[in-house]
Amino acid sequence: IAWFARAADLGQSWDALVDSHVIEPREAFELKRHETFLKRVRAWLHIVANRREDRLVFDLQTAVAREMGFRSKDSRGLSEALMHRYYLAAKMITQLSRILLQQIEHRVLGGPAGEVRVIDENFARIGDLLEIRQDDAFERNPHLILRAFLQIAGHSGLSGMTARTLRAIWHARFRIDTNFRRDPVNRQNFLALLKAPRGVTHELRRMNEWSVLGRYLPPFRRIVGRMQHDLFHVYTVDQHILMVVRNLRRFMVADHAHEYPLCSALMAGFERPWLLILAALFHDIAKGRGGDHSVLGATDILRFCREHGIDGEDRELAEFLVRQHLTMSLTAQKQDISDPEVIRRFAETVGSDRHLVALYLLTVADIRGTSSKVWNAWKGKLLEDLFHLSRAHLAGDRLVPSERFDTRRAEAARLLQVGTPFDYERQ
């Protein structure tokens, strides 16, 4: 930002950019605060490494955190505290960069390109960007905050927001408070976004980037930027959750059906698939609180369902998915699924075919959302075998795997003898 501003003769400091009316005092304050933090991290990184080192690698995070005054009972906690603060700073800088670089570009090259086309009394369209028609529209009518994301999801020609709109959302984000969350209109708008036929992943990511998602879902705000130091996850918790949402959405798109044909086929026949997106948002939402995050997350999603009028089987399914989201992967990878007793116990835990299908889809999306290196054909085969065996058990098929194999082999031999095409899909 500073380099662009200097090149455009708009100033040599944040205060100068305020005087040039490129940024506002609050934005300058946030930039100064986070710049100071990053410079302190970099300085301590050089001191701890005893050389010029600009990579905040895991081996140095604990020492840097300790020197900077972070406190925790163990080294892992120190590292997580530092990185959480780092990601929050990076997130804020990303937000302001998006606004200010557009502002500088407009000052140098003129306003946003494209014809202005009115959408309604609150929004317009400039090129492929959404424009707010009044700077204080979100402050006067906070309902419009969620409506803005719904507008983009509902218009295939819109790909983002103008700097003016982003700035208005950034300044109005504090209007998303308890009263906002209790407002029936806002609850309806949020559910409408989850149910949208397109753009769900993009808009949830945009809402997270602009601190809207975490303010609407307070438990989600606690896992924004939270590291997961384990052998599997390479993303912060919030980014992992959004990757799981993305994977589920891909199962709903016909163009991606070749990637995971079984998942796409199951999703195509699943009633109210937006419930899976809701479960994905909550499945890891309680990480870092202490205790079993599956149990705590199940409590959170039950509260959400009560507040948003989701009841009956749908509420029960959402709670089940969050509470049991690890069960299928643990059963498939750590137990002998050729043992009928293992299948029986798992099937009893699942309880119904709808639960089984939903849990299978969420499990595949969850594992694929941890790291590009975690998913492999072996895990996929284990999960698929567990799914089919459990589905057969729920349907009343009590044959053990060896008996089922003998039956299918005999049927295949019979069909080959009579020359009848073998239906692999049915078998």
Question: Mean of the pLDDT values across residues 242-261?
Answer: 94
Question: Quick check: 299 pLDDT over 70?
Answer: yes
Question: Mean of the pLDDT values across residues 279-293?
Answer: 93
Give the pLDDT band (50/70/90) at residue 420. Answer: very low
Q: Which of 70-74, 80-84, 338-342, 364-368 has the lowest mean pLDDT?
A: 70-74
Predicted pLDDT at 104: 85
Question: Quick check: 423 pLDDT over 50?
Answer: no
Give the pLDDT band (50/70/90) at residue 106. Answer: confident
Give the pLDDT band (50/70/90) at residue 308. Answer: very high
Predicted pLDDT at 110: 75
Alpha helices in 369-400 (DSSP H): 377-394
Q: Which of 42-46, 148-152, 368-372 has the lowest mean pLDDT?
A: 368-372
CA-to-CA distance for 364 and 366, rounded, in angstroms? 5
CB 132 within 8 A of CB 123: yes
Q: Which of 22-31, 72-81, 184-193 has the lowest mean pLDDT?
A: 72-81
pLDDT digits (tens, 9 = 90+) for 72-87: 877 778 988 899 999 9
Mean model confidence pLDDT for the chain:
89
From residue 49, give the alpha-carbon distance in Å to each of 23, 71, 87, 302.
36, 20, 21, 47
Q: Is 131 left (phi over 0), alpha (psi -120 to 50) or beta?
A: beta
CA-to-CA distance for 277 and 195, rounded, in angstroms? 9
To the nearest whole percent, how much of the chain has pLDDT over 70? 91
Give the pair of three-digit tokens for residue 391: 């589905």
CA-to-CA distance for 146 and 196, rounded, in angstroms? 13
Q: Does residue 140 or residue 98 have the better pLDDT? A: 140
Q: Which of 152-161, 176-185, 343-352, 359-368 has the lowest mean pLDDT?
A: 152-161
Predicted pLDDT at 403: 56
Predicted pLDDT at 90: 92
Predicted pLDDT at 306: 97
Question: Quick check: 168 pLDDT over 60?
Answer: yes
Predicted pLDDT at 415: 59
Question: Quick check: 20 pLDDT over 90?
Answer: no
Question: Mean of the pLDDT values across residues 195-200?
Answer: 94
Question: Which pTM does this prediction carry?
Answer: 0.86
Question: Mean of the pLDDT values across residues 22-34?
Answer: 92
Predicted pLDDT at 186: 98
Predicted pLDDT at 398: 60
From residue 148, give the alpha-carbon distance in Å to each of 122, 164, 183, 222, 370.
9, 13, 17, 24, 30
Give the pLDDT band (50/70/90) at residue 426. Answer: very low
Amino acid at 145: I
Give the pair of three-digit tokens for residue 345: 């116990």
Predicted pLDDT at 233: 61
Give the pLDDT band (50/70/90) at residue 400. Answer: low
Q: Which of 74-88, 254-268, 314-328, 330-344 has the lowest mean pLDDT?
A: 74-88
Contacts of 366 (CB under 8 A, 6+ apart): 244, 280, 283, 325, 329
Q: Does residue 402 or residue 378 have the better pLDDT? A: 378
Question: Mean of the pLDDT values across residues 165-172?
Answer: 93
